């Protein structure tokens, strides 16, 4: 019997394939039960080798068109049913070719799942995730993931290795660009929005893809910000800071999790039974796939927790890793482990079930090629509406850091000099993890400014490179600037300075960019610095000297037009920092969610908690960002000075746009528990509202707080609120807040 026939027969026996069967089964079984039934019927047909094959994920060659270039050994493995999923296989036509091998040439014809790092767009590239997070606009963030999913799904992908929901509090770590920043509450909201965006309402819809909450867990706490480094944190910090966004992703229905490379308190997470088997799959009840990170099962050896591949597979399988990404260890070692009784067939079956379950949910057993649609791919990828959305998300992500009456610039300006190594750049603007994004599709800032100002004299000079110490082109830049009425300088990091394995020990502007900015600033022209970078940088000198600074992050395909929209007032900046900007690397880690200590800083008192050579405060705090307008906060009130455990406290505040421009403001609510069975941070974010106000308009913003919002892991690690006195704060950023007190009664 041919493989498809074997499968169909099995599914018919299971009573749940074919139109009529489907109708009747719908009445008798919930759809989840139908899926379970189908999964079991396929599992019954599988040999041990085929089962283990499902747990194996191999990488493709990144090819998008043309003949199959996939290594012949990989093609052979697919034919033998030894592969369950491939990553880095791209394009509708090419994924179809590879899928055909699995479906037509393997014994059972089980389709492959294709996975890819679709992190901030597929071909239409959005701002880096940290930039998106700066929008504090959850709808915009969800929409970016929706567009990414639509493009990726049309190009044959079923699965993205995103969102990265690692909390990141050390800007030296290169991967801060991939996450939502430092705060667990906000990180959880962003995680939810991204999962919803990627997965939509139904995985069988061919415009959706499976999301993957990664890297489980605490990867962002890598010591000293050095990628892959040791993580040694308290259980309390783990539960309070690093786990919540993962739990939020789970609650949003995320289909998959990826384990992290790091060790956690002595045990690498890839082999950490307590975290994956007991917590994630056990206590949290996760039913989807847990994939290892790239070859991380192999890395259990150099990490020093196992001596050989046999032990590595044993540890990972027993920890609960279902799928082995590119380590080839499960295929090699699981048969022996099973024979030796170290791993049971039931364990292998459970892992296979998780993978087959998703293949059914994606509809791959109905039509393995339903995502490989060259017509849809052509229509959807990089289409104008996606580019428009990318431009909108990019402008929402920008954070105005300083503005001494320079911005917005007038569109009537006669001459403008556009300077700097990123001013006419296309390749760096899409950042790392830019999937199929290409520099050639990026609209540079220079091009966008020229388009915005058809009648102005727009001159350009690069001035210097991002890195390197040549100042040979400074004079040309200074000459262009001195002839212009207004100067725009675009500086920052290249794409390859943030992302995986791209940690930095110094967070200055690289190369001679600082010198370029200072030389231009000495001309005393109206000047704005546009920063493009993947992480907070130490720019106190810039803040002290330059009149206007716009943080544009690495803004994606439509970055240039989005920046131009902000510079010339077609969009009033509304972004806020999702991560603290320190004054110096010496202050790191620096984040708003600090404890008070027994000796909080008093400048004039020696024995208090401080540096002798730096303020404790950051350059720009979490939640900070200016607008062209001005928002006044007043009438801050709470519904009662005291609430009980089952009550709700209503917190309200009036916000008025008292400036000259319509615009949006991110109203933030923080709390502080003054005395607890364990010490609590001086501020914890518990609410955000992004509101749009026209000039002169005023709105009352209301937040609701319940005991759940006040809860934390108490002395004996119970998650609950403790009675006592609290402070509640509202305002425009984590450092400038109105404050009231209330009591939580027993
Ligand atoms: C990264 C993951 C990524 C995987 C596949 C790893 O090196 O840590 O985040 O999903 O590669 O590309």
496 CA distance to ligand 1 centroid (A)? 15
Does residue 293 have an active-site annotation? yes
pLDDT band at 67 (very low <50, low <70, confident <90, very high): confident
171 CA distance to ligand 1 centroid (A)? 19
Predicted confidence at residue 143, as pLDDT, reads 98
Pocket test for ligand 1, best of 57, 120, 161 (most atoms within 8 A of CB): 161
Arithmetic mean of pLDDT over the chain: 95
Phi and psi torsions of 171, nearest 5° = -65, -10
Phi and psi torsions of 212, nearest 5° = -140, 115
Top pLDDT among 68 and 97 is at: 97
Predicted confidence at residue 22, as pLDDT, reads 38
Ligand 1, atom 10, residue with closest C-alpha: 161
91 has pLDDT over 60: yes
Nearest to 292 by CA among 367, 223, 214, 221: 214
pLDDT tens-digit readout, 456-510 = 999 999 999 999 999 999 999 999 999 999 999 999 999 999 999 999 999 999 9
pLDDT band at 600 (very low <50, low <70, confident <90, very high): very high
740 CA distance to ligand 1 centroid (A)? 45
Mean pLDDT of 153-172: 98
Looking at the chain, the whole-number percentage of residues with pLDDT higher than 90 is: 94
Determine the atom of ligand 1 nearest the C-alpha atom of 212: 10
**Quick one: which H or E segment has residue 170?**
none
Predicted confidence at residue 18, as pLDDT, reads 36
pLDDT tens-digit readout, 669-726 = 999 999 999 999 999 999 999 999 999 999 999 999 999 999 999 999 999 999 999 9
Residue entry with tokens 């600090």: 594
pLDDT band at 28 (very low <50, low <70, confident <90, very high): very low
Least confident of 66-70, 81-85, 507-511, 596-600: 66-70
Distance CA 567, CA 561 (A): 10
Helices (H), 501-576: 513-521, 540-545, 559-567
Q: How far is CA 216 from CA 128, 176, 290, 296, 498, in A?
A: 20, 15, 9, 12, 20
Mean pLDDT of 567-587: 98
Looking at the chain, the whole-number percentage of residues with pLDDT higher than 70 is: 95
Question: 28: Cβ–Cβ under 8 A, 6 or more apart, which residues?
Answer: none
Active-site pick, 166, 170, 293, 425? 293
293 CA distance to ligand 1 centroid (A)? 6
Question: 244: Cβ–Cβ under 8 A, 6 or more apart, which residues?
Answer: 184, 185, 187, 188
Question: DSSP assignment, residue 554?
Answer: S
Q: Is 678 exposed, middle or buried (0-12, 13-18, 19+ CB in 10 A)?
A: middle
Pocket test for ligand 1, best of 215, 293, 299 (most atoms within 8 A of CB): 293
Ligand 1, atom 12, residue with closest C-alpha: 117
pLDDT band at 25 (very low <50, low <70, confident <90, very high): very low
Predicted confidence at residue 1, as pLDDT, reads 41
How far does CA 674 lie from the centroid of its chain?
Answer: 32
Distance CA 595, CA 607 (A): 17
294 CA distance to ligand 1 centroid (A)? 6
Predicted confidence at residue 12, as pLDDT, reads 53
Q: Please state whether the predicted TM-score (pTM) of the whole model is above 0.85.
A: yes
- Supply 331's token pair: 């295929």
Mean pLDDT of 634-657: 98
Determine the atom of ligand 1 nearest the C-alpha atom of 162: 10
Ligand 1, atom 5, residue with closest C-alpha: 294
123 has pLDDT over 70: yes
For 645-699, give the DSSP string: TT-EEEEEEEEEE-SSS-EEEEEEEEEEESS-SS---S-EEEEEEEEEE-TT-EE
97 has pLDDT over 60: yes
Question: 736: Cβ–Cβ under 8 A, 6 or more apart, which residues?
Answer: none
Sheet containing 415-419, strands listed edge to edge, beginning at the edge strand earlier in sequence: 399-403, 548-551, 527-532, 486-492, 415-419, 457-461
Ligand 1 binding residues, C-beta < 6 A = 87, 117, 161, 214, 293-294, 500
Ligand 1, atom 11, residue with closest C-alpha: 294
Predicted confidence at residue 26, as pLDDT, reads 39
Ligand 1, atom 8, residue with closest C-alpha: 293
pLDDT tens-digit readout, 361-382 = 999 999 999 999 999 999 999 9
Top pLDDT among 32 and 496 is at: 496
164 CA distance to ligand 1 centroid (A)? 10
Ligand 1, atom 2, residue with closest C-alpha: 293
């Amino acid at each position: 019997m041919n493989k498809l026939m074997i499968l169909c027969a099995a599914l018919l026996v299971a009573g749940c394939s074919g139109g009529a069967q489907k109708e009747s089964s719908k009445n008798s079984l919930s759809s989840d039960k139908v899926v379970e039934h189908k999964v079991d019927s396929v599992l019954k047909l599988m040999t041990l080798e085929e089962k283990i094959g499902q747990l194996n994920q191999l990488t493709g060659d990144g090819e998008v068109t043309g003949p199959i270039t996939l290594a012949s050994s990989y093609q052979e493995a697919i034919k033998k049913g030894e592969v369950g999923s491939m990553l880095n296989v791209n394009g509708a036509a090419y994924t179809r070719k590879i899928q055909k091998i699995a479906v037509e040439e393997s014994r059972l014809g089980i389709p492959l799942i294709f996975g890819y790092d679709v992190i901030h767009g597929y071909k239409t590239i959005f701002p880096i995730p940290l930039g998106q997070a700066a929008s504090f606009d959850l709808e915009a963030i969800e929409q970016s993931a929706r567009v990414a999913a639509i493009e990726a799904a049309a190009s044959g992908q079923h699965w993205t290795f995103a969102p990265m929901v690692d909390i990141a509090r050390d800007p030296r770590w290169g991967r801060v660009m991939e996450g939502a920043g430092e705060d667990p509450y906000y990180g959880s909201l962003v995680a939810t929005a991204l999962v919803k965006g990627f997965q939509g309402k139904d995985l069988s819809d061919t415009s959706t893809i499976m999301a993957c909450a990664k890297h489980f867990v605490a990867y962002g706490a890598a010591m000293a910000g050095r990628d892959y480094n040791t993580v040694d944190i308290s259980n309390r910090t783990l539960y309070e800071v690093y786990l919540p966004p993962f739990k939020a992703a789970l609650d949003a229905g995320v289909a998959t999790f990826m384990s992290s490379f790091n060790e956690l308190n002595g045990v690498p997470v890839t082999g950490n039974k307590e975290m994956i088997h007991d917590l994630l799959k056990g206590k949290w009840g996760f039913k989807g796939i847990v994939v290892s990170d790239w070859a991380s099962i192999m890395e259990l050896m150099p990490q020093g927790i196992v001596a050989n591949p046999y032990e590595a597979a044993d540890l990972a399988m027993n920890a609960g890793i279902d799928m082995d990404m590119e380590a080839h260890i499960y295929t090699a070692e699981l048969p022996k482990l099973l024979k030796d009784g170290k791993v049971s067939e039931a364990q292998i079956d459970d892992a296979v079930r998780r993978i087959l379950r998703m293949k059914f949910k994606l509809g791959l057993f109905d039509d393995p090629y339903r995502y490989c649609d060259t017509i849809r791919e052509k229509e959807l990828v990089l289409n104008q509406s996606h580019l428009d959305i990318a431009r909108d998300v990019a402008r929402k992500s920008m954070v105005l850091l300083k503005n001494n009456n320079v911005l917005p610039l007038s569109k009537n300006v006669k001459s403008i000099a556009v300077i700097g190594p990123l001013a006419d750049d296309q390749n760096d603007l899409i950042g790392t993890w830019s999937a199929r994004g290409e520099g050639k599709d990026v609209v540079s800032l220079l091009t966008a400014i020229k388009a915005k100002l058809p009648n102005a004299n727009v001159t350009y000079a690069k001035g210097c490179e991002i890195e390197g110490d040549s100042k040979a082109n400074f004079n040309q830049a200074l000459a262009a600037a001195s002839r212009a009425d207004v100067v725009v300088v675009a500086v920052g990091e290249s794409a390859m300075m943030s992302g995986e394995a791209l940690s930095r020990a110094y967070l200055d502007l690289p190369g001679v960019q600082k010198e370029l900015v200072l030389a231009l600033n000495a001309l005393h022209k109206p000047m704005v610095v546009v920063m493009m970078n993947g992480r907070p940088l130490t720019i106190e000198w810039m803040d002290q000297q330059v009149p206007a600074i716009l943080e544009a992050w690495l803004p994606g395909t439509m970055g240039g037009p989005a920046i131009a929209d902000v510079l010339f007032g077609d969009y009033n900046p509304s972004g806020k920092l999702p991560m603290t900007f320190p004054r110096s690397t010496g202050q790191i880690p620096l984040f708003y969610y600090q404890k008070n200590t027994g000796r909080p800083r008093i400048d004039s008192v020696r024995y208090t908690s401080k540096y002798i050579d730096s303020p404790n405060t950051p350059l720009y705090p979490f939640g900070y960002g200016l607008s062209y307008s001005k928002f006044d906060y007043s009438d801050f009130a709470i519904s009662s000075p005291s609430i009980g455990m089952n009550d709700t406290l209503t917190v309200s505040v009036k916000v008025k746009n008292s400036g000259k421009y319509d615009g949006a403001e991110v109203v933030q609510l923080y709390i502080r528990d003054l005395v607890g069975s364990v010490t609590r941070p001086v501020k914890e974010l518990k609410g955000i509202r992004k509101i749009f106000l026209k000039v002169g308009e005023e709105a009352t913003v209301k937040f609701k707080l319940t005991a759940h919002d006040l809860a934390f892991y108490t002395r004996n690690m119970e998650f609950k609120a403790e009675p006592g006195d609290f402070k509640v704060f509202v305002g425009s950023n984590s450092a400038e807040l109105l404050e009231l007190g209330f009591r939580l009664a027993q």
